[in-house]
């Protein structure tokens, strides 16, 4: 990897002198870098960097207190050249259209990185689910589904869980869609409850896929995962499960955090105890056996493996110089900015980009969709075996691309993914 790091500065196209934290502009910057290496013509670049469809909807619902409130929702389909759009539904107060557009683009490249036959889509609703009752969330979800129903479907666009959505949210979407079209359509969403056609292994898929590629990266960096120190920023679904899976591999979890802050113990923390403590108190902050630490300080702890598993722009130009991890595995979408990428590469930190490291979720979503469409039911062992094979093949493809072009792993993943989507687009041609 020394060759990759040394040649990065002179081989990468120059980036803007001031860092831009807008997620959509970051996603386009990442695309443009890959397009330069691939020497794509201007017309094809314009097709690939432009969202295919953007829908913004008003979601009026009656709250529990009888008042009517109108929420705003989005669904974006970035590219469907390789198959139906695929991507999660995010409920968060900070959701913006630019964020959803970026996430849809990242999904297009993510599905291509692991070479599954989907395009990229994403959805979001501007809301604070922590302040809403279950009934309000159900009514909002069902109304949102009815508004975007013309553009979703098992062969059009397949939503999945994301930030503050879960299997219950997917069940409401599936039921609303099915009642509207007049028949049960299991394949309209993935990440469903097992009783409604959900796949075994789906809940752990994002974290397990992250573990799979970290294991491969450890071979490159000659790190023994047994005893390796791990820091997890973001103790949600992906982060909490990743912490548990890494502990099962005898790694040492030395720090954990959520939106309120984190805990640190160089001798190790128990993720299961942290999960139980968070369920009781709402946060890992204050759990016994760990000293309080801020999210900012947690990111710069000396460790073997850092797993950003929260939201975008966690590692930026402001803190990249202080990152001391040997491997950074992005379980979140967009946690590292392009300028920070340059710094990490110069420091010879092995970055596993989001479109590779967290692609386990969409991979098992694909498996769930296949099972739904064909009436199959795979065992959890079979799902995990297929996931591991897919993730390790994708890692090998990206790593080989990084060596071929002498670039770091993010640019390599984009070169691989954009190339695959570009090939499909050119073969299909333009209609009419």
Catalytic residue among 86, 101, 110, 122: 122
Domains of the chain: 51-194 (3.40.50.10860), 205-357 (3.40.50.720)
Per-residue confidence of the chain (432 residues) as pLDDT tens digits? 444 444 443 344 444 456 888 999 999 999 999 999 999 999 999 999 999 999 999 999 999 999 999 999 999 999 999 999 999 999 999 999 999 999 999 999 999 999 999 999 999 999 999 999 999 999 999 999 999 999 999 999 999 999 899 999 999 999 999 999 999 999 999 999 999 999 999 999 999 999 999 999 999 999 999 999 999 999 988 999 999 999 999 999 999 999 899 999 999 999 999 999 999 999 999 999 889 999 999 999 999 999 999 878 899 999 999 999 999 999 998 899 999 999 999 999 999 999 999 999 999 999 999 999 999 999 999 999 999 999 999 999 999 999 999 999 999 999 999 999 999 999 999 998
> Structure tokens of 131?
């302040």
Active site residue 219: no
């Amino acid at each position: 990897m020394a060759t990759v790091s040394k040649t990065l500065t002179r081989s990468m196209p120059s980036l803007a002198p001031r860092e831009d934290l807008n997620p959509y502009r970051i996603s386009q910057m990442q695309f443009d870098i890959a397009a330069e290496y691939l020497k794509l013509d201007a017309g094809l670049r314009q097709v690939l960097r432009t969202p295919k469809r953007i829908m913004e909807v008003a979601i009026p619902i009656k709250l529990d207190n009888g008042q009517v409130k109108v929420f705003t929702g989005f669904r974006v389909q970035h590219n469907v050249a390789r198959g139906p759009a695929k991507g999660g539904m995010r409920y968060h107060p900070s959701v913006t259209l630019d964020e959803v557009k970026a996430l849809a683009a990242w999904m297009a490249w993510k599905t291509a990185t692991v070479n599954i036959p989907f395009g990229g889509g994403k959805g979001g609703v501007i809301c604070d689910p922590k302040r809403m009752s279950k009934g309000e969330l159900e009514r909002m979800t069902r109304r949102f589904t009815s508004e975007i129903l013309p553009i979703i479907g098992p062969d059009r666009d397949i939503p999945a869980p994301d930030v503050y959505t879960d299997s219950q949210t997917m069940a409401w979407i599936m039921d609303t869609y099915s009642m509207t079209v007049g028949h049960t359509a299991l394949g309209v969403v993935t990440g469903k409850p097992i009783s409604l056609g959900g796949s075994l292994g789906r809940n752990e898929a994002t974290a397990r896929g992250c573990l799979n590629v970290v294991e491969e990266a450890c071979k490159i960096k000659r790190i023994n995962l047994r005893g390796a120190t791990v820091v997890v920023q973001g103790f949600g679904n992906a982060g909490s499960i990743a912490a548990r899976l890494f502990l099962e591999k005898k790694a040492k979890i030395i720090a954990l955090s959520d939106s309120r802050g984190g805990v640190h113990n160089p001798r190790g923390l128990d993720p299961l105890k942290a999960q139980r403590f968070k369920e009781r108190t709402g946060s890992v902050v204050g759990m016994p056996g760990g000293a309080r630490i801020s999210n900012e300080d947690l990111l710069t702890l000396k460790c073997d493996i850092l797993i950003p598993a929260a939201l975008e722009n966690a590692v930026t130009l402001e803190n990249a110089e202080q990152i001391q991890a040997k491997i950074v595995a992005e379980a979140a979408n967009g946690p590292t900015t392009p300028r920070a990428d340059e710094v990490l590469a110069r420091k010879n930190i092995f970055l596993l980009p989001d479109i590779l490291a967290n692609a386990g979720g969409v991979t098992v979503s694909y498996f769930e969709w296949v099972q739904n469409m064909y009436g199959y039911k795979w065992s959890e062992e079979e799902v995990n075996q297929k996931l591991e094979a897919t993730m390790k093949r994708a890692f090998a493809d990206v790593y080989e691309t990084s060596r071929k072009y002498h670039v770091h792993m993010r640019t390599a993943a984009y070169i691989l993914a954009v190339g695959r989507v570009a090939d499909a687009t050119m073969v299909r041609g333009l209609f009419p």
